[in-house]
């Protein structure tokens, strides 16, 4: 069978294309950013417009949020360590840093649970209480659901790596997932600022 | 590989014919639109409508010129550069031209600048016009599927048919409307008096109009609001100053002055329409003296007195108001001066005794999906209520 | 045709893969199974297109019912409840179950072929996206028989295709009409985002050797821009539908005006999706024009770099014009002015593209085959559609025209006059590639002329009831408004278009069995999809192509005058 040859060969040398995983994950991040933007806009638009019920200033405390924010944001550092480890073929280090990342993510989720427990049981703030309740639980909940999805994927990778099925040639796939995790952390920076800093003024 | 060149002279002629026909028919029909059909936006009778109309003509001319120019070039190209039969050679390949491409970037930019400046002038002059002290204030409240109108300074509440005073150069009396909704989104549109303004719950929008000619102007709701969006009609009567004052005075009268003395609460502060003092239109009635004077049941005779009894004992009053009586429901239209209106059901039917009775028996005869249920009263009761309503002039 | 001095046919054909595709078909069940489990972009593309054509007939029937009801005033052919369902479903189906799938179908089929790739970047994601979109359509139509609606039986959505709040809140839409709408479209949105990711990854990461980004045909370029818009625009729709469901089922107050919520917020969110959505629909139509017009004018597209820049520009500007759907909602005069200006600005790159098409035709040797007939009609109609769009951008005039039949006429001029006409052109152009058969030419001409006549009778006329004050989405109208004859004419045109579409459907089926053999390159075209058999083998190209210009087949057929010398 024949090609459609026009110029032979001299294209081969430098023909490089971007990697599919990175492009695709960047596209997904773009789409997810748009979704988060809409929820953030709704939260900001409705700030101060409650007819009744608890307000951010009244029930949100910034101090308890800080430790588990630190957990989540530092998990980005640890997953970066894990990416570097697998790139250099250090599988034991990879497994360690990956497990630390997962643990930190779970700690963040626990923090969210603790805070929601307090808000629902003690402050009687639910998604149906007022505008603040609706927008708060939607926004923070949307973020938490992304954390959960990320953790599930990462637990799969952790399980596979414990069985020895993850090898250095999978570094690329791991980096694609890590990109998603960095996005989740970046979103938390925005959500934290909007909810715990701006709206408590 | 194959090509099948076709001799398509007939096509070119017909393509130009199609383009020309489309354009001419557009023109012809545009002139039709100028005839003052009731809702034509090309027959403006108020300043905002006039300004919008003039701007529209300006834009229409520019767009028509653009279309004629572009389609002329295109028709010419299609005819001149068609493939001749049995010619299998390729034409010279031209990949672009900086000068040409720049020109057709710059010229549209200039056209847009002109269009935008013309638009901005009208936009700001209409939307941001200040309210003069002679203006009439009207509050418009959209409901599923009827319109409530209030004149705060006159303490008048009415429904579906809006009366506005004439506004002339000598005696300017524009009407400034505040619009809101009691339920979903609606839109207030009377084309000959101005553009439409959406009517939203939990928000007050504003618009103004200065009707320059007396007469009846029609419109309707212009934002889909549910089953009977199509029959949420508007009638705006522009009255001379004298007629308008007469109408207002009539609307201000309560039915206490008209109803049977032993039922009327003539000495009570009347709810609803008020002319005595600054009582807000929605004040609850004072019930104290009522129980003492209402008889236990309506009799059999079909008359207004019995009708009022039925009206007040059945759940009509939970939705409707008649000023000067116990009826102070606000969910449905205010009926105090029902007989001063030409239509019922927001334009769904003419206001005749027969239609009125049919409406009361089952509104979905005229307007299926409207929110007034069939009350399943007896024919006698329907006739009695009708007799009563006929007295609400 | 090629220069006479060179027997080109021989050269190209010798380079082609002629492996017969349909050897050993297998049983009926095996064939069906292979289509259900396929991840081949060509099969998925064809399934998208077939699915869309089925829904085109369904939504077209809904349109016919609408036009029968409106053919005379105070008609009682349909109840108001049924009518409201008809126009809601007509709009929703046409946008989400016809427009998006058929355009994704063509993109799926053509993008890998045009860039010399073997398949899309993520074939399994491709299959998932198709099947979830298919599920969405079935769910939406299940609403006709499922659940309880406002008036008792069947709860097909009746809230208009843009589902304004608070009409969609539980208080005003009890039952499940809104839920079918929200969940089905949400699912279809997931499929759209998946395909968009796939298209972008394919265009950027799967090009054959030598095919730099400035050498890919304009179709993949426009599909990449369109996919970017899908990512950024469909997501807000997903978000606000999720918010609506939170309101309806979790007691939320996003659009609950009693609790201080806002109806205007829904409008903003919806149109932040809705406006880019129409560019999502129109950019592929432009892509088809970019491929078809040059081939039938026998000239390269005029101003390729400007076309790329204009398309990207349209993509970005279209993100900033959404509130021109909301000029009457009560924004400040500054807000109205801003969106007037941004909407006018989008006319500039659009004009550039239109003029470039005209310049491509200019100096060419135009062949009026059926794809070109539809493309020529598209050009005239697109100019009118764009101009009525400019008229609508004039906010004070918009205060009269908004939500009237003028708007309906304008957007049908875009959706039918531009997009559907180019889809028809694409069908006639690429059907031979997909099936190996030519569509019947005579039937094609009948289809074309009936479509042109019907389209103009309906949609030219439709502008006038709008100018005479007729709002949209009304199940009937008063007889004394001067709209009667106009509506009658509009309805007649609708029936003519229905006949035209039926002719097309017949042609599609008939030609599959009895059409002339097409061969690999029936139109003497220049992009890579014509360099393989019709239909292509599963692997597309036996050996990965290598290109040196934007028109690799032109270079092959005209070695004395290759594009690579000029680019």
C205·A19 Cβ contact <8 A: yes
Q: Which residues of chain A have a CB within 8 Å of the CB of C564? A: 6-7
Q: Among residues A48, B336, B130, which one has the least CA distance to residue C262?
A: A48
Q: Evaluate the CA torsion angle C5, C10, C14, C15 in order and state its sign.
A: positive
Q: Which residues of chain C have a CB within 8 Å of the CB of A20? A: 121-122, 201, 205-206
Of C354, C481, C566, the CB nearest to B39: C481
Mean pLDDT of chain B: 85
Question: Distance from C82 to chain B by nearest Cα, in Å?
Answer: 9
Choose, out of B34, B43, B93, the residue to mutate when testing the contact with C (most C CBs < 10 Å): B93
C328·B124 Cβ contact <8 A: no
Which regions of chain A are under pLDDT 50?
A: 1-11
* Per-residue pLDDT at B3 exceeds 60: no
Choose, out of A9, A10, A27, A54, the residue to mutate when testing the contact with C (most C CBs < 10 Å): A27
Question: Distance from B225 to chain C by nearest Cα, in Å?
Answer: 7
Q: Which residues of chain C have a CB within 8 Å of the CB of B365? A: none
Q: What is the pTM of this model?
A: 0.91
Question: Distance from C456 to chain A by nearest Cα, in Å?
Answer: 39
Q: Which chains touch B (3 or more CB pairs under 8 A)?
A: C
Question: Distance from C203 to chain A by nearest Cα, in Å?
Answer: 10
Please report, in tens digits, the pLDDT of each residue of chain C (567 residues total).
333 333 333 334 444 555 555 555 678 899 999 999 999 999 999 999 999 999 999 999 999 999 999 999 999 999 999 999 999 999 999 999 999 999 999 999 999 999 999 999 999 999 999 999 999 999 999 999 886 655 556 789 999 999 999 999 999 998 888 999 999 999 999 999 999 999 999 999 999 999 999 999 999 999 999 999 999 999 999 999 999 999 999 999 999 998 999 999 999 999 999 999 999 999 999 999 999 999 999 999 999 999 999 999 999 999 999 999 999 999 999 999 999 999 999 999 999 999 999 999 999 999 999 999 999 999 999 999 999 999 999 999 999 999 999 999 999 999 999 999 999 999 999 999 999 999 999 999 999 999 999 999 999 999 999 999 999 999 999 999 999 999 999 999 999 999 999 999 999 999 999 999 999 999 999 999 999 999 999 999 999 999 999 999 999 999 888 888 876
Question: Distance from A96 to chain C by nearest Cα, in Å?
Answer: 31
Question: Distance from C128 to chain B by nearest Cα, in Å?
Answer: 36
Q: Which chains touch A (3 or more CB pairs under 8 A)?
A: C
Q: Which residues of chain C have a CB within 8 Å of the CB of A131? A: 253, 259-261
Q: Which residues of chain B have a CB within 8 Å of the CB of C364? A: 81, 91
Q: Which residues of chain C have a CB within 8 Å of the CB of B223? A: 164, 403
Q: Which residues of chain C have a CB within 8 Å of the CB of B90? A: 1-3, 298-299, 365, 558
* Per-residue pLDDT at B78 exceeds 90: yes
Q: Which chains touch C (3 or more CB pairs under 8 A)?
A: A, B
Task: Report chain B's terminal Cα–Cα distance, integer Å.
Answer: 84
d(CA C382, CA C494): 19
| Residues 198 through 237 of chain B touching chain C, CB cutoff 8 Å | 198, 200-203, 205-206, 218-231, 233
pLDDT band at B326 (very low <50, low <70, confident <90, very high): confident
d(CA C25, CA A133): 60
* Per-residue pLDDT at B11 exceeds 70: no
A35·C236 Cβ contact <8 A: yes
The whole-number average pLDDT for the span B58-66 is: 96
* Interface pTM, i.e. ipTM: 0.92
C263·B81 Cβ contact <8 A: no
Q: Which residues of chain B have a CB within 8 Å of the CB of C323? A: none
Question: Distance from C240 to chain B by nearest Cα, in Å?
Answer: 18
Q: Is B289 exposed, middle or buried (0-12, 13-18, 19+ CB in 10 A)?
A: exposed
Query: What is the percent of chain B with per-residue pLDDT over 70, rounded to a whole number?
Result: 80
pLDDT band at B34 (very low <50, low <70, confident <90, very high): low
Q: Which residues of B204-240 are buried (b: 16+ CB within 10 A; e: fewer)?
A: ebebbbbbbeeeebbbbbbbbbbbbbbbbbbbbbbbe
Q: Which residues of chain B have a CB within 8 Å of the CB of C335? A: none
B119·C395 Cβ contact <8 A: yes
Question: Distance from A179 to chain C by nearest Cα, in Å?
Answer: 16
Question: Distance from C17 to chain B by nearest Cα, in Å?
Answer: 15
Number of B to C CB contacts under 8 A, please give it: 331
Q: Which residues of A127-150 are buried (b: 16+ CB within 10 A; e: fewer)?
A: bbbbbbbbbbbbbbebbbebbeeb
Whole-Å CA distances, C288 to B331, C55, C386, C426, C513: 55, 21, 18, 6, 26
Question: Distance from B83 to chain C by nearest Cα, in Å?
Answer: 4
pLDDT at B5: 39
pLDDT at C314: 96
Residue C17 tokens, joined: 């893969």
pLDDT at B324: 85
CB A167 within 8 A of CB A174: no
pLDDT at C22: 56
d(CA C140, CA C155): 10
Half-sphere exposure of residue C368, counting CA atoms within 13 Å on the CB side? 23
Chain C residue nearest residue B12, CA to CA:
C368
C333·B15 Cβ contact <8 A: no
pLDDT at A23: 97
Q: Which residues of chain C have a CB within 8 Å of the CB of B60? A: 391
Torsion of CA C83, C84, C87, C92, to 10 degrees: -140
Of C164, C362, C401, the CB nearest to B77: C362
Q: Which residues of chain C have a CB within 8 Å of the CB of B6? A: 367-369
Choose, out of A13, A18, A21, A31, the residue to mutate when testing the contact with C (most C CBs < 10 Å): A31
pLDDT at B87: 87
Q: Which residues of chain B have a CB within 8 Å of the CB of C337? A: 119-120, 123-124
Of C84, C336, C524, the CB nearest to B1: C524
């Amino acid at each position: 069978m024949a090609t459609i040859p026009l110029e032979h060969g001299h294209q081969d040398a430098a023909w490089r294309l971007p990697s599919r995983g990175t492009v695709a994950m960047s596209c997904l991040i773009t789409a997810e950013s748009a979704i988060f933007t809409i929820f953030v806009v709704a939260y900001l638009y409705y700030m101060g417009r409650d007819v009744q019920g608890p307000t951010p200033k009244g029930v949100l405390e910034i101090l308890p949020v800080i430790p588990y924010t630190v957990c989540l944001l530092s998990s980005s550092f640890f997953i970066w360590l894990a990416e570097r480890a697998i790139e250099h073929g250090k599988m034991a280090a990879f497994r360690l840093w990956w497990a630390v990342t997962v643990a930190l993510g779970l700690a963040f989720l626990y923090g969210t649970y603790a805070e929601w427990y307090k808000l629902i049981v003690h402050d009687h703030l639910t998604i149906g209480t007022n505008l603040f309740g609706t927008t708060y639980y939607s926004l923070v909940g949307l973020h938490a659901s992304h954390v959960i999805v990320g953790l599930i994927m990462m637990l799969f990778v952790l399980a596979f790596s414990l069985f020895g099925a993850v090898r250095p040639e999978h570094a690329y796939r791991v980096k694609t997932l890590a990109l998603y995790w960095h996005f989740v952390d970046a979103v938390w920076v925005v959500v934290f600022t909007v909810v715990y800093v701006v709206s408590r003024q | 590989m194959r090509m099948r060149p076709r001799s398509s002279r007939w096509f070119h002629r017909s393509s130009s014919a199609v383009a020309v026909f489309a354009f001419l028919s557009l023109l012809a029909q545009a002139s039709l639109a100028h005839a003052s059909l009731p809702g034509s936006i090309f027959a403006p009778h108020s300043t905002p409508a006039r300004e919008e109309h003039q701007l529209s003509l300006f834009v229409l001319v520019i767009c028509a010129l653009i279309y004629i120019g572009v389609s002329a070039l295109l028709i010419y190209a299609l005819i001149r550069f068609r493939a001749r039969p049995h010619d299998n050679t390729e034409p010279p390949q031209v990949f672009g031209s900086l000068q040409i491409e720049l020109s057709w970037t710059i010229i549209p930019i200039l056209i847009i600048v002109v269009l935008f400046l013309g638009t901005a002038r009208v936009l700001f002059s209409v939307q941001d016009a200040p309210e003069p002290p002679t203006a009439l204030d009207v509050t418009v409240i959209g409901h599923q599927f009827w319109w409530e109108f209030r004149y705060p300074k006159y303490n008048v509440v009415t429904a579906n048919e809006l009366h506005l005073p004439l506004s002339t150069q000598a005696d300017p009396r524009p009407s400034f409307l505040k619009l809101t909704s009691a339920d979903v989104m609606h839109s207030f549109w009377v084309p000959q008096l101005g553009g439409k303004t959406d009517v939203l719950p939990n928000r007050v929008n504003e618009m103004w109009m200065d009707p320059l000619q007396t007469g009846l102007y029609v419109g309707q709701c212009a934002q889909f609001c549910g089953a009977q969006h199509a029959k949420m009609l508007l009638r705006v009567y522009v009255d001379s100053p004298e007629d308008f004052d007469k109408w207002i005075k009539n609307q201000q009268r309560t039915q206490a002055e008209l109803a049977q003395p032993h039922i009327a609460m003539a000495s009570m502060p009347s709810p609803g329409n008020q002319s005595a003092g600054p009582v807000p239109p929605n004040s609850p009635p004072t019930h104290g003296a009522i129980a003492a004077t209402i008889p236990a049941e309506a009799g059999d005779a079909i008359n207004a007195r019995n009708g009022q009894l039925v009206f007040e004992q059945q759940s009509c009053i939970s939705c409707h108001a008649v000023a000067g009586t116990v009826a102070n429901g606000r969910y449905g239209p205010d009926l105090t001066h029902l007989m001063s209106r030409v239509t019922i059901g927001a334009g769904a039917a003419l206001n005749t005794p027969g239609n009125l009775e049919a409406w009361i028996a089952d509104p979905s005869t005229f307007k299926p999906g409207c929110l007034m249920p069939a009350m399943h009263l007896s024919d006698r009761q329907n006739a009695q209520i009708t007799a009563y309503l006929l007295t609400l002039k | 045709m090629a220069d006479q001095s060179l027997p080109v046919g021989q050269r190209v054909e010798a380079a082609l893969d002629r492996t017969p595709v349909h050897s050993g078909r297998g049983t009926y069940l095996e064939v069906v199974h292979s289509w259900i489990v396929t991840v081949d972009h060509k099969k998925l593309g064809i399934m998208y297109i077939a699915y869309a054509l089925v829904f085109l007939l369904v939504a077209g029937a809904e349109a016919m019912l609408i036009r029968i009801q409106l053919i005379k005033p105070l008609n009682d052919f349909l109840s108001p409840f049924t009518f409201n369902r008809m126009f809601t479903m007509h709009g929703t189906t046409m946008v989400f179950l016809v427009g998006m799938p058929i355009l994704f179908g063509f993109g799926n089929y053509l993008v890998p072929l045009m860039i010399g790739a073997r398949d899309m970047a993520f074939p399994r994601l491709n299959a998932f996206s198709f099947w979830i979109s298919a599920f969405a359509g079935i769910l939406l139509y299940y609403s006709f028989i499922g659940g309880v609606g406002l008036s008792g039986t069947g709860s097909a959505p009746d809230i208009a295709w843009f589902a304004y709040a608070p009409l969609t809140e539980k208080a005003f839409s009890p039952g499940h009409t809104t839920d079918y709408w929200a969940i089905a479209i949400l699912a279809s949105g997931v499929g759209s985002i998946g395909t968009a990711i796939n298209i972008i990854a394919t265009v950027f990461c799967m090009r054959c050797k030598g095919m730099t980004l400035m050498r890919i045909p304009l179709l993949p370029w426009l599909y990449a821009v369109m996919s970017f818009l899908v990512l950024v625009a469909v997501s807000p729709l997903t978000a606000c539908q999720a918010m609506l469901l939170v309101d309806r089922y979790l007691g939320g107050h996003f659009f609950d005006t009693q609790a201080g919520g806002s109806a205007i917020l829904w409008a903003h969110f919806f149109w932040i999706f809705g406006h880019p959505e129409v560019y999502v629909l129109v950019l592929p139509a432009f892509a088809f024009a970019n491929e078809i017009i040059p081939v039938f004018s026998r000239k390269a597209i005029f101003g390729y770099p400007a076309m790329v820049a204009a398309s990207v520009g349209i993509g970005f500007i279209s993100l900033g014009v959404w509130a021109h759907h909301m000029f009457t909602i009560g924004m400040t005069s500054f807000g109205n002015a801003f969106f007037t200006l941004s909407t006018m600005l989008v006319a500039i790159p659009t004009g550039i593209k239109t003029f470039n098409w005209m310049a491509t035709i200019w100096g060419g040797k135009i062949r009026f085959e059926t794809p070109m007939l539809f493309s020529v009609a598209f050009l005239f109609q697109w100019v009118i559609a764009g101009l009525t769009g400019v008229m609508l951008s004039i906010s004070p005039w918009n205060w009269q025209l908004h939500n009237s039949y003028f708007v309906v006429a304008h957007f049908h001029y875009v959706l039918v006059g531009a997009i559907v006409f180019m889809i028809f052109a694409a069908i006639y152009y690429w059907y031979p590639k997909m099936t190996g058969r030519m569509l019947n030419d005579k039937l094609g001409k009948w289809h074309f002329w009936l479509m042109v006549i019907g389209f103009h009778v309906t949609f030219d006329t439709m502008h006038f009831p709008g100018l005479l004050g007729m709002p949209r989405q009304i199940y009937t109208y008063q007889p004394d408004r001067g709209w009667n004859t106009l509506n009658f004419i509009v309805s007649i045109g609708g029936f003519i278009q229905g006949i035209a579409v039926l002719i097309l459907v017949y042609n599609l089926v008939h030609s599959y069995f009895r059409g002339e053999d097409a061969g690999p390159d029936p139109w003497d075209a220049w992009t890579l999809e014509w360099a393989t058999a019709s239909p292509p083998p599963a692997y597309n190209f036996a050996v990965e192509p290598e290109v040196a210009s934007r028109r690799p087949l032109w270079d092959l057929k005209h070695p004395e005058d290759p594009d690579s010398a000029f680019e």
